[in-house]
Amino acid sequence: MSVLLIEAFYGGSHKQLMDLLQEELQEDCVLCTLPAKKWHWKARTAALYFMQTVPTSTNYRILFASSVLNLAELAALRPDLGKLKKVLYFHENQLAYPVQKCQERDFQYGYNQILSCLVADVVVFNSAFNMESFLTSIGKFMKLIPDHRPKDLEKIIRPKCQVLYFPVRFPDVSRFMPEHKLAHLEKVIGVKRNGDAYQLEGLPGQQKSRALMKNSNAHHESGLCEAQPGLYTTQHEGLPSPLTAPARLNKSEASERTNPCQEEDKQHLTFNLSNILSGRDYQQRPLHIAWPHRWEHDKDPETFFKVLLKLKEEDLPFHVSVLGESFTEIPDIFSEAKKALGSSVLHWGYLPSKDDYFQALCVADVVISTAKHEFFGVAMVEAVHCGCYPLCPKALVYPEIFPAEYLYSTPEQLFKRLQNFCKRPDIVRKHLYKGETAGFSWAALGGKFRSLLAAEPREDL
C-alpha cells in the first residue's frame, strides 16, 4: 500500500474520486476519510484527527489529499507523512468561492489552502478555471492581512500546478434511454444495438479509436490508457460518449447516501419507464427539464425556479425533475417552488440509487445549471452523457467544458431558450450534441492519474 489517500470531506465528487482511485489501485493504497458533514469544522480540524488515526507504515510513498485538508498542519504533526510525495487535489478553491455576504468569508479557509500548496509537491486542479481563479486571486487575498504581508506566493506555487480534469466513469445507460436518443447514436457513429450491447461499425479514425478504447475499458477493470488528452485540453468535435463506453455500475456505486432532511420531500418517479421508452409516446410529452445540483445557495436555485415559474405563468407545458443532495439547511425557495410548480413536477429530491439517478437523466430533455460557483460540474457532464441538452452560464468553468451554443449570459436568455424548447421540444430531441465528453472519462485520464501517483525515488524514504 504505497499510496495514502486522505479525504476530509468524503461525499459528493470528493467521494467519487477517492472511490475510483481506491478501486483502481486496489491493494496498493489505503483510504482514510471523514464524513461529509459540517464542512467548516472538517477544514479547521481534520489534520489533528488524521494525525491520530492514519496508521504508521514504512510502505507509504505518496500522499494524495483534497484541498479541504490543511496539508501543512498534517505534515508538521506527522513528520513521517511530511516526507512523502504530497499531491494536493483541488475540487474547488476558497479564494473564488461565492459567499452570501462579503463579511461571511473566513480568511482562514483560503489561507489554509495557500499553506497546503506551499508544502505540497504537486498541486492539481480539476479545471483550468479552477487553477487560474485560485492563483490569480492569491495576491489580492493576501492584502487582507493588515501588515507584514508575504510576497510572491503565486510565483512560488504556480510551477507546482497542473490541470487534470475530474475523471468520470461513464456507465452504460442504454437500458434507460428513449428510442430517439438511441437512434442518434446509431445514425451518426454507426453503432448498432444487439440487445443491450452495441457493435461499432464504420467509425471514422479518431472516433473509432475512442470507442474501442472505451469498450476495452468496460471489459478490463484497470482501463488505464493514455489515448486521450486530459491536460489543458477540451475537444469540441463529434458526439458525446454515451453508450460507447459501457462501463458497468457495480453494486458499490449505488450510493448509500441518504438525508433525513430530504425524506419528506421525496416522491416516487411519476413517469412509467416502459411508456416513456416508446418513441411515439415520448415525442408527444412536454419538455422535461432536469436540475441535478446540491440544494445550496451557490447553485442559485432562486434563478432557476424564477425562470420556471415564468414559463408556468405563460402556460407553457413542461415537466421538471429537481435532483441533487440537500444538507442541514435547505433554502426556502425549494418548498415554495414545489408548491407553485404543482403538477409540472415529475420528481423532487435526492435519488440515492445511481441507477435511479441516471434513469431520471436519461428521460430528461434539457439539463440546466444556474450556478454561481462551479469548478468542473460532474452532474452536467453526466447529464450530457445521458443525452440531455445542456444550458449553462457563460461563466465559471462552463466555457471550458461546453461549446458556445450551450451557454447563456443572462436569466432572460435562459428563459427565451426554454420558452422556445417548451413550444418545440422536438428541437432538443432531434439535436445532436456538438461537444464531447470522452476527454473527461476515466479511460482518457486514468493513465495520467496513475503517473501522478507513481512514487519518485527519494533518498530519505
34 or 184: which leads in pLDDT: 34
- Read off φ and ψ for residue 88, nearest 5 degrees: -110, 125
The torsion angle over the Cα atoms of residues 306, 311, 312 and 316, rounded to 10 degrees, is -170
26 or 460: which leads in pLDDT: 26
Read off the pLDDT of each residue in 353-357 and give the average, rounded to a whole number.
94
Helix, strand or coil, per DSSP, at residue 87? strand
135 contacts: CB under 8 Å, gap ≥ 6: 154, 157, 158, 161
What is the C-alpha separation between 293 and 357, in angstroms, rounded? 12
C-alpha cell at 240: 458525446
Residue-wise pLDDT for 108-130, tens only, equals 999 999 999 999 999 999 999 99
Read off the pLDDT of each residue in 78-102 and give the average, rounded to a whole number.
88
At residue 305's C-alpha, the angle toward residues 279 and 14, to 5°, is: 85
Residue-wise pLDDT for 437-450, tens only, equals 999 999 999 999 99
Specify the range with the lowest mean pLDDT, choosing from 247-251, 352-356, 382-386.
247-251
Determine the pLDDT at residue 145: 94
Q: What's the pLDDT band for 183 if we cut at 50, 70, 90?
A: confident
Give the other-Cβ count within 10 Å of 190's Cβ: 16
What is the C-alpha separation between 322 and 174, in angstroms, rounded? 22
pLDDT over 70 (residue 457): no
Read off the pLDDT of each residue in 13-28 and give the average, rounded to a whole number.
95
What is the C-alpha separation between 364 and 346, in angstroms, rounded? 10
Q: Supply the DSSP string of 287-334, one letter for each residue.
A: EEEEEES-SSGGG-HHHHHHHHHHHHHTT--EEEEEES---SS--THH
pLDDT over 80 (residue 77): yes
pLDDT over 50 (residue 179): yes
Read off the pLDDT of each residue in 194-219 and give the average, rounded to a whole number.
38
Read off the pLDDT of each residue in 408-422 and give the average, rounded to a whole number.
98
Judge contact between 98 and 134, C-beta under 8 A: no
What is the C-alpha separation between 265 and 247, in angstroms, rounded? 32
Minimal CA–CA distance to 367: which of 230, 190, 244, 240?
Answer: 240
Determine the pLDDT at residue 184: 75
What global pTM score does this model have? 0.80
Q: What's the pLDDT band for 461 if we cut at 50, 70, 90?
A: very low
Residue-wise pLDDT for 39-66, tens only, equals 999 999 999 999 999 999 999 999 999 9
Judge contact between 63 and 40, C-beta under 8 A: no
Read off the pLDDT of each residue in 1-21 and give the average, rounded to a whole number.
95
227 or 262: which leads in pLDDT: 262
pLDDT over 60 (residue 263): no
Determine the pLDDT at residue 165: 98
Determine the pLDDT at residue 97: 73
Residue-wise pLDDT for 276-312, tens only, equals 545 546 678 999 999 999 999 999 999 999 999 999 9
Q: What's the pLDDT band for 214 if we cut at 50, 70, 90?
A: very low
Determine the pLDDT at residue 325: 85
415-424 core/surface letters (b: 16 or more CB in 10 A; e: else): bebbbebbee
Residue identified by cell 447563456 is 408
